[in-house]
Amino acid sequence: MFRALILGVLAFCFSTAIGRPVVSYLRDHNVGKRIKEEGPSSHAVKEGTPTMGGLLIFGTVVVLTVPFNLIDRLSILLPYGMIGATGAVGFVDDLATVVGSSRQGVTWRFKLVMLLALSIIAGWVLWGPLGIHHVRIPWAGRHDVGLLIIPIAIAVIIGTTSAVAITDGLDGLAGGTSAFAFAAYGIIAAFQGQPFIGAFCFTVVGAVLGFLWYNAYPARVFMGDTGALALGSSLAVVTLMTEQWLVLPVVGIVFVLEAASDLLQIAYFKLTRGRRLFRMTPLHHHFELLGWPETRVVARLWLIGIAGAMAGVALALKV
C-alpha cells in the first residue's frame, strides 16, 4: 500500500508538472472545445476552452506504469493496454469537437464496435491467460462464473465507459468521481493482496488529481473523450481483475445516476409522447436548470461519490 500511495503522489506531481505546457500548447494552437447548442445556455461561455486534457491522465499513467509497475507484472498489461487504446480513440474523436474543425469525428457506432472488440479481448484474457473468472459476492463468498466472464466483461466495460463519458459535463465532475472510484478499488486491491493493481489504481488517482489542478472551476482545460473513455474502460477492467464488479454500481453511484437519468428521460419521452421527466439530462444539467450553481452541483455529486466509494469498499470487505 505504501508503494501504491507513493506512486500516486509521483503521478500527481508528474501530471501537474506537464499540465502547464500541455494546456498552454492546446490554447496556443486553438484546440478549443465546441459547445453543443442543445446544452444549457450558461455553458456558452465555455466555448473555446482547450479540450483533450485527458492527455494528462492517460499520458501520465502510460509513462509511469512502464518503469514502476509493468516489469515482471504482465497482468497489468490488460488495464494498461485498455487505457492506452481507448485514450487514443478518444483523442481522435476530440479532434472533431474543436472549434472550427472540419475533421470527421469517431461515430458512436465505431466507438461501440471498438469497445465491443476490446471487451471481448479483455474477457478472453481474464478467462484464459489470467485465470480470473470469479465474482466476489458480499456475505456470500467467491464464486466461479466460468466462460460467462466474457459477456460479463462486455457489459461491464461498455456500460462503465459510456457512463463515465456521460458524466463528463461539468468542471471537475468526471475527474473527481473517477478519482474516488479508483481510490476505492486501490484499497480493495490492497486488502486482497494485489499490490500491482493497487499501484495502477493510485497511479490513475494521482494523474487525475493533476488534471483536476487545471480542470477545477473555471476549467482551463476539459477532459474530453481522451480522458473519459480511458478512465471508464480501465476502471471496468480493474473491477473485473479484483472480481468486485458487483459493487461497481455502489462505488460508481454517480455514474449510475447520470447514465440512468439519460435512459429514463428517453423512455419517459417515448412513453408519454413528448413529456420530460427531467428538465435536461444528464442529471447534472437538470440541477443546473433548477438554478444550482455549477460548483454546488459538482460538490454535492462529489459527496455522493465519496459516500458510494466508502460503501463499496465496506461491501467488498464482507466477502
Q: What is the pLDDT of residues 186-222, one digit of tens each?
A: 999 999 999 999 999 999 999 999 999 999 999 899 9
Number of domains in the chain: 1
User: Is residue 206 a part of any domain in this protein?
Assistant: yes
pLDDT of 100 over the 70 cut: no
Residue pair 230/58 in contact (Cβ under 8 Å)? The answer is yes
Which residues are CB-contacts of 145 (< 8 A; sequence separation ≥ 6)? 133, 134, 135, 152
Question: What are 35's three cell numbers?
Answer: 459547445
Looking at per-residue pLDDT, the higher value among 46 and 10 belongs to 10
pLDDT of 103 over the 70 cut: no
Pairwise CA distance, residues 104 & 189, whole Å: 40
> In which domain, by residue range, is 191 found?
2-245
User: Is residue 221 a part of any domain in this protein?
Assistant: yes
User: Is residue 222 a part of any domain in this protein?
Assistant: yes
pLDDT tens for 257-268 read 999 999 999 998
Pairwise CA distance, residues 288 & 278, whole Å: 11
Q: If residue 135 lies in a helix (H) or strand (E), which one and from where to where?
A: strand 134-137
Residue 32: exposure state from Cβ atoms within 10 A (0-12, 13-18, ≥19): buried
User: Is residue 76 a part of any domain in this protein?
Assistant: yes
User: Is residue 296 a part of any domain in this protein?
Assistant: no
177 phi and psi angles, rounded to 5 deg: -65, -35
pTM for this predicted structure? 0.94
Q: Measure Cα distances from 68 to 18, 195, 210 in Å.
A: 19, 12, 18
Helices (H), strands (E): how many in the chain?
12, 2
User: Is residue 281 a part of any domain in this protein?
Assistant: no
